[in-house]
A and B are shown apart, each in its own frame.
Chain A
Amino acid sequence: MTTADITLDDTPRGGPRPASSGPRPASSGPRPASSGRRTAWLLLSPALAFFAVLFLMPLAVMLLFSLLTGNPLWDDTVTFTLENYTRMVQDTYYLEAVGSTVLLGLYVTGASLAIAYPLALQLARMRSAAWRSILMIAVLSPMMTGMVIRTFAWMTLLADQGVINRTLTGAGLIAEPLPLMYNTFGIVVAMTHIFVPFMVLTLVGVLGRIDDRLEQAAQSLGATRLRAFVEVTLPLSVPGILAGSLLVFALTISSYVTPTLMGGFAFVNLPILIYQQIASSFNPSFAAALGFALLVLSMSVIAAYWRVLSRVGRGGGT
Chain B
Amino acid sequence: MRGRTFLSRGRALPVLVWAVSLLALWELVSWYLLEARHVPLAQSKLPYVHEIVRTMGDYAPTLLKEGRVTFGNAALGFLLGAAAGAALAVLMSASKRIEQLAFPYAIASQMIPILGLAPIIYGIVRDEKLSRILISGYITFFPVALNMLRGLRSVQPSALELMHSYAAKPWSVYWKLRFPASLPGLFGGLKIAAPLSVTGAILVELMGAQHGIGVIMLRNLYYGSSHAYMFWATVIVGALLGVLSYWIISLLERAVSPWQPDFRAKGGAR
Do A and B make up one complex? Answer: no
